[in-house]
Amino acid sequence: MNDKIIVTGGCGYIGSHTVIELIKNNYKVIILDDLSNSSEETLDRIEKITGKKPTFINIDLKDADITNEVFKSHKDAKAVIHFAAYKAVGESINNPLKYYQNNLYSLLNTLSSQIENGINNFIFSSSATVYGTPNKLPITERNETQRPFSSYGNTKKVAEEILDDLINSNATFSAISLRYFNPIGAHESGLIGELPSGTPNNLMPYITQTAVGIREKLMVYGNDYPTKDGTPIRDYIHVVDLAKAHVIAVKRLIHKKQETAFETFNLGTGNGFSVLDVIHTFESVTNSKLNYEIVERRAGDVPELYASTDLAKEKLGWTADKSLEEMIRSSWNWEQKLRNKTS
């Protein structure tokens, strides 16, 4: 029988790509999602791509009783991958309680429900934001964590601390925290991708929405950073590469290959690209000019962030293999398909 995996937030951007990879690897997927930042249509698209429709349960994980009921009816699941969370950095700074309430209640209810029902494997969707402003590059998992600038970021850091405490108190529970750098790109079919609600916060969707004519121009937040061209450097990673790492982590947990009960891995490519690199690559991939303007710095941006990928390579046997061009091409393909459908 195929192993069952519960995926919270499975209709979202990274969640839906991971569900596809899980199905491709013959897992039976149960998606728990409240559709607060995603759409049920994603399920049909997953079915189009994989030939299988995952089981979907519309549930608010902040409700402890309902969450426990759902986990009780799926207590044969082998692992939980927890994506469900709010993720808008700026909004979290203006409304911290919304972020702490949603991201932490849903985490706590998921953890207590799964443990009560004997599901002892957990994968956490974390972020490079837990490193704050790094004093050493590339960032290894041994870099010390710092209090992130945003409340969103702090929910990720606090969540990792909760997991650490939980593992120290519970001999049967195991977890892997995956710290994402900057996920971009979309599924090659163009059927699944990132769909930010309202004005995008992140660079890639802002670029594609500008190019397609939804936004007038891209604001580049500062060109006076201590980097080669003055714009901040990030480690962009293709969402499909990221999704594949989750399948490897699931296998590692189910087959008890972990070296310690709580492991943490960076998921990046190890390559840093500046904002201008991304813009120029976009222009060359699409053979077009992007309307952009250099403006003031955005609060909280760090100058440079890229991963050491050694640990994930050594322990998981995973490396990201898609180039920046491929990431951008797939994001653009997704944006255009979306636009054609709605216009």
List of residues contacting ligand UFG (CB under 6 A):
87, 89, 127-129, 153, 182, 201-203, 206, 218-221, 232, 234, 275, 298, 301, 305
Complex with ligand UFG: residue 45 or 234, whichever CB lies closer: 234
Complex with ligand UFG: residue 298 or 337, whichever CB lies closer: 298
Complex with ligand UFG: residue 111 or 237, whichever CB lies closer: 237
State the minimum distance, in angstroms, from the CB of residue 301 to ligand UFG: 4
State the minimum distance, in angstroms, from the CB of residue 309 to ligand UFG: 16
State the minimum distance, in angstroms, from the CB of residue 134 to ligand UFG: 10
Closest CA to 243 of 183, 202, 296, 195: 183
C-alpha 233/C-alpha 24 separation (Å) is 34
Complex with ligand UFG: residue 178 or 218, whichever CB lies closer: 218
Contact 162, 260 (CB under 8 A): no
Complex with ligand UFG: residue 121 or 127, whichever CB lies closer: 127
Is 131 among the residues known to form the active site?
Answer: no
Distances (CA, A) of 183 to 17, 173, 231, 245, 320: 11, 28, 18, 13, 11
Q: Which pair of tokens denotes residue 323?
A: 């180039």
Contact 272, 235 (CB under 8 A): yes
Complex with ligand UFG: residue 3 or 301, whichever CB lies closer: 301
C-alpha 190/C-alpha 125 separation (Å) is 24
Closest CA to 243 of 40, 13, 85: 13
Backbone angles phi, psi at 255, to 5 degrees: -95, 15
Task: Tell me which H or E stretch contains 127.
Answer: strand 121-127
Of the residues 13, 152, 180, 236, only one is catalytic, namely 152
Contact 77, 5 (CB under 8 A): yes
Complex with ligand UFG: residue 20 or 89, whichever CB lies closer: 89
Written as one string, the DSSP assignment of 3-66 is PEEEEETTTSHHHHHHHHHHHHTT-EEEEEE--TTS-THHHHHHHHHHS-PPEEEE--TT-HHH
State the minimum distance, in angstroms, from the CB of residue 179 to ligand UFG: 9
State the minimum distance, in angstroms, from the CB of residue 204 to ligand UFG: 6
State the minimum distance, in angstroms, from the CB of residue 201 to ligand UFG: 5
State the minimum distance, in angstroms, from the CB of residue 99 to ligand UFG: 12
Distance between start and end Cα atoms, the chain: 44
Written as one string, the DSSP assignment of 175-232 is EEEEEE-EEE---TTSSS----SSS--SHHHHHHHHHTTSSS-EEEE-S-SSSSSSS-
Half-sphere exposure of 6 (CA within 13 A, CB side): 31
Residues serving a catalytic function are 152
